């Protein structure tokens, strides 16, 4: 039986590559975008795969999330990929508070609310896997350069959410992971990043596939190595 995979923020970058990869593997994929009309690459993918269902979704609109959940039956793998870096060029002394709230809403609060809302769907799934795309910049140990207050703190908080979810849900058969996608050539990562989205997606999918409940609550790089909190 093919897996059912739900991916947020799949209109471009890593999310789009993850959607394409899972489709190639024969999965039933549900992919979201805040604006489907402007998601030309995702629309093109949908025209090639009948197993891809598109949803217009703002992950911070929790009523919208609940309405979508009510229309679905079961999910095997939930990938919380949607993310927002926030304004660049801000550091100590000029932190933009409103942007900080926005980044936290998208990167930290929304992933938890998605798991809470999709919990019954995941319970009915066979894999019961939740993967939250985090970042190594959220690691306390890896922070040797400072700065990046907004994005760093949102991903550190997301890691804490993942750890708590693993404690709460692992006994129910869930595997909950925080994953670092690598430094990827995306709108966020920039043109000088080390890897492309397909390389990142292939590594992430392999980590998700090979993970067991013993890995629940871990922070893992796309290449399979465990990262320090």
- What positions carry a catalytic annotation? 151, 155
Rounded CA gap, 11 and 44, in Å?
Answer: 11
Q: Are strands 129-133 and 77-80 parallel, antiparallel or unpaired?
A: parallel
Q: Residue 190, CB half-sphere, CA atoms under 13 Å: how many?
A: 4
Residue pair 145/198 in contact (Cβ under 8 Å)? The answer is no
Fill in the DSSP letter of residue 113: H
- 31 close to 79: Cβ distance less than 8 angstroms: no
Question: What SS3 class is residue 67?
Answer: helix
Phi then psi for 3, rounded to 5 degrees? -80, 155
């Amino acid at each position: 039986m093919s897996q059912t995979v739900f991916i947020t923020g799949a209109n471009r970058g890593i999310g789009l590559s993850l959607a394409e990869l899972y489709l190639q593997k024969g999965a039933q994929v549900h992919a979201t975008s805040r604006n489907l009309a402007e998601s030309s690459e995702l629309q093109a993918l949908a025209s090639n795969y009948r197993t891809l269902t598109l949803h217009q979704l703002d992950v911070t609109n929790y009523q919208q999330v609940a309405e979508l959940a009510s229309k679905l039956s079961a999910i095997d793998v939930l990938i919380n990929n949607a993310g927002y870096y926030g304004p660049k060029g801000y550091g100590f002394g000029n932190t933009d508070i409103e942007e900080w709230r926005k980044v936290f809403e998208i990167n930290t609060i929304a992933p938890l609310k998605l798991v809470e809302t999709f919990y019954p769907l995941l319970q009915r799934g066979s894999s019961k896997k939740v993967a939250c795309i985090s970042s190594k910049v959220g690691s306390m140990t890896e922070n040797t350069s400072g700065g990046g207050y907004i994005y760093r703190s949102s991903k550190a908080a997301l890691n804490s959410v993942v750890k708590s979810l693993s404690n709460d849900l692992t006994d129910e058969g869930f595997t909950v992971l925080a994953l670092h996608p690598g430094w990827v050539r995306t709108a966020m990562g920039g043109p000088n990043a080390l890897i492309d989205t397909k390389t990142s997606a292939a590594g992430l999918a392999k980590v998700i596939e090979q993970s067991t409940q013993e890995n629940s609550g871990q922070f893992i790089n796309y290449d399979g190595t465990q990262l320090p909190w």
